């Protein structure tokens, strides 16, 4: 088993908002503790959750990630990070790169912009080159 760290410039805040607005449910607190008081805030929280779900779905194409940590936003550098475990490292290793399949699978996956990103990025995942906006690192 290995532990992998994922970092991205996309807002992948895990809000727990898993469907579109239900006016009858407003006012409530999302999973971050933020109070949702109107439809605009609801949609923002839903879009953050969508990005979180998208990254998890891409990872799940190759492996069933375990012990997934909640994303942490490092506001000073505009990066969200989280970690997960992979039972079979061979499931994500490609061409001697221990995260090669993850990098390949992420390429060009659409993401939602206009949330809490602080850098100018394209609306899709880029996993290599100078414009990369998602990275994976094997921790142990």
Question: Would you write out the chain's pLDDT as a tens digit for each of its 140 residues?
Answer: 999 999 999 999 999 998 876 666 778 889 999 999 888 899 999 999 999 999 999 999 999 999 999 999 999 999 999 999 999 999 999 999 999 999 999 999 999 999 999 888 999 999 999 999 999 999 97
List of residues 6+ apart from 26 with CB closer than 8 A: 36, 37, 38, 39, 42
CA 99 → CA 41, 105, 137, distances in Å?
35, 10, 7
Tell me the pTM: 0.93
Those residues with Cβ within 8 angstroms of residue 138's Cβ, 6 or more apart along the chain or in another chain: 2, 3, 4, 89, 98, 99
DSSP structure class, residue 124: B
H/E element, 58: helix 39-59
84, β-bridge pairs: 4
Residue 111 Cα distances to 29, 91, 107, angstroms: 24, 24, 11
Q: Please, are residues 4 and 74 in contact by the beta-carbon 8 Å criterion?
A: no
CA atoms of 21 and 84, how far apart (whole Å)? 30
Dihedral sign for Cα 105, 109, 112, 116, please.
Answer: positive
């Amino acid at each position: 088993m290995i532990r992998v760290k994922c970092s991205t410039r996309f807002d992948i805040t895990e809000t727990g908002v898993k469907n579109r607005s239900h006016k009858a449910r407003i006012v409530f607190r999302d999973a971050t503790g933020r109070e949702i008081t109107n439809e605009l805030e609801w949609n923002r929280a839903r879009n953050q959750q969508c990005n979180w779900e998208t990254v998890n779905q891409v990872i799940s194409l190759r492996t069933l990630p375990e012990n997934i940590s909640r994303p942490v936003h490092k506001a000073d550098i505009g990066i969200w990070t989280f970690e997960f475990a992979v039972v079979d490292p061979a499931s994500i290793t490609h061409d001697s790169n221990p995260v090669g399949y993850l990098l390949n699978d992420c390429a060009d996956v659409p993401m939602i912009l206009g949330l809490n990103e602080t850098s100018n990025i394209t609306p899709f995942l880029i996993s290599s080159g100078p414009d990369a906006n998602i990275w994976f690192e094997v921790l142990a």
